Structure 1
Amino acid sequence: MPGLVTSSLAAGSGGVVGVILGLVGGGGSILAVPLLTYVVGVGSPHIAIGTSALAVSVSAAGNLIPQWRAGNVKWRCAAAFSLAGVLGAMVGSTAAKAVDGQSLLALFGVVMLVVGALMLRKRRGDGDPDVRLIKRSAAVLLPWLLGIGLLVGLFSGFFGIGGGFLIVPGLMLATGMPLPMAIGTSLVAVSAFGAATAASYAASGLIDWPLAGLFILGGVLGGLAGTSLGKRLSGRKRTLSVTFAGLVILVGLYVVARGALPLLGVAT
């Protein structure tokens, strides 16, 4: 079992991610790996990624329930997208385990920079709320759902992140569904991709289960606090999103530096 300080840092880091998820509605899980690596002190980047994937999966599953009740989940579209993505996530996670840990961290930092830049863009909220994957529409929708799902799953599995920042626009591109439904539906895929990635890392003994439990617990409590605070700051969503995007970019720069310097022979 981790010591008191490590346990507190793990729960606190999970709380930070939960608060961010509650405030801005997504993207907070991108901070899980840096927090586990540089704050909690997980020595192996691969263990940090495996532990993060498990926490992200559980968090997404918990957040799925209110979205389902609100009618924002297109289950058939989610199933097709997720089935292809799980295959991609298994391939991606297997490939990642063969990559040197420091190289993987440097690449992860680059991904954070890209994610931060994408978060600065406004997303359109219009679309067709009545879109459904049925026999008549399958010929058009299914190739897009399977193709995009596979690609996003590969990416998600390789970096051990939920990939919601790609899943949401991917679902909108594949089906034309509006943003609120894409966000709700994406949680099915995030949960599935995270579970597939976590299973791959668990099979290699690359998950710290006690830390994962503490991180998840902190995330649940932080999510409740963030959701409550988010309601009070609902008129400042754009400001919050831009601020968070800036934070992701700054952390990304730090992760790139910490991951790249050892590769260049510079001590950190």
Structure 2
Amino acid sequence: MSWWLVPLAALVGLVMGALGGGGAIITVPVLVYLAQQPPAAAMVGSLIVVSATATAGLIGHWRARLVRLGEGVAFAALGSAGAVAGSLLSMQVPGQLLMALFAVLLLIVAGLMTKKFLRPSPTPPRDVPPMIGGDPRRVNWRQVAVVTATATGVGMLTGFFGVGGGFAIVPALVMVLGFSMQQAVATSLLVIVLNSLVALATRLTVAVDVDWALIGWFSVVAAAGAILGGRLGRRLPARTLGLGFATLLAVTAVLILTQSLTG
């Protein structure tokens, strides 16, 4: 792997570990435009990188007991079902309009996240009860209903726009379910691991010429960055994480709009 790809791989890991998403949106362009990988190979390679990176970042969050297992598994399962419906709907919309709508959605979410975390005295996150408590017979049906609706809706959005991961999951967990930023980041990484592995298993059924040496080293560096990013994320204030995530969304939206208008 070329030396100048090392800091970019580390950046992928830092972003994912600290903010719970953004890895694929950075990795795919890097592999295509800078590492000169064919798009099909870059998408498979990105799934490998994201799976390894999210797993590395997840370990520390798991040990810190920030991962909401029930909600994470539900988001992965229900989100996949919603993504199928969203994908079918997206086929009816022109690609350029689709990207413009996606950029607008990112700007709206970024604005809502910024408003939430710029409040002079931000409301501390409420203690959100889990869907299933210590006794499996005690099910929080209200939480189950909210998670089901939210996960399906997020899945439809990710399927409609062809993206996924923390860009949609983290804001939903924070603004709809009332998770803290640290819990949202940790749970988002769990969802990313599960979804990426399913997508990777599907794509590997088709022969793709993957540069395993490049992807292997990229994954190792990104995983190391995710471990560091996770440690930073657990120490940073929730406001800093929230505003950082909103900034990442806004920058991505501007880049997409610029590409759409000039492309």
Whether the TM-score (by the shorter chain) exceeds 0.5 is: yes
Match of 2:75 in 1: 81
Match of 2:36 in 1: 41
1:16, distance to aligned residue in structure 2 (A): 1.6
Q: Mapping of 1:1-268 within 5 angstroms? A: 4-5=1-2, 8-22=3-17, 24-29=18-23, 30-44=25-39, 46-89=40-83, 117=111, 120-123=114-117, 125-133=124-132, 135-156=137-158, 161-172=163-174, 175-205=177-207, 208=210, 210=212, 211-226=214-229, 234=236, 242=243, 245-246=246-247, 249-250=250-251, 252-258=253-259, 261-262=262-263
1:219, distance to aligned residue in structure 2 (A): 0.6
On the 8 A contact 2:56/2:226 being kept in 1, the answer is: no
% same residue: 30
- AA aligned to 2:130 is V
Equivalent residues, number: 253
1:145, distance to aligned residue in structure 2 (A): 1.8
Q: Taking structure 2 as the reference length, what is the TM-score of the superposition?
A: 0.69
SS at match of 1:203: coil
Gaps (5+ residues) in structure 2? 118-122
On the 8 A contact 2:16/2:54 being kept in 1, the answer is: no
1:221, distance to aligned residue in structure 2 (A): 2.8
On the 8 A contact 2:58/2:186 being kept in 1, the answer is: yes
**Alpha carbons of structure 1 residues 74 and 244: separation in structure 2 relative to 1, 3 Å:** closer
Of the structure 1 ranges 222-231 and 126-135, higher mean CA displacement relative to structure 2 is found in 222-231
On the 8 A contact 1:106/1:258 being kept in 2, the answer is: no
Gaps (5+ residues) in structure 1? 263-268
Whole-Å Cα distance in 2 between the matches of residues 152 and 222 of structure 1? 27
Whole-Å Cα distance in 1 between the matches of residues 94 and 207 of structure 2? 17
On the 8 A contact 1:152/1:167 being kept in 2, the answer is: yes
SS at match of 1:194: helix
Q: Taking structure 1 as the reference length, what is the TM-score of the superposition?
A: 0.68
1:66, distance to aligned residue in structure 2 (A): 1.6
On the 8 A contact 1:89/1:156 being kept in 2, the answer is: yes
Of the structure 1 ranges 180-189 and 133-142, higher mean CA displacement relative to structure 2 is found in 133-142
On the 8 A contact 1:60/1:188 being kept in 2, the answer is: yes
1:104, distance to aligned residue in structure 2 (A): 7.7
Whole-Å Cα distance in 2 between the matches of residues 174 and 153 of structure 1? 15
On the 8 A contact 1:33/1:49 being kept in 2, the answer is: yes
SS at match of 1:127: coil
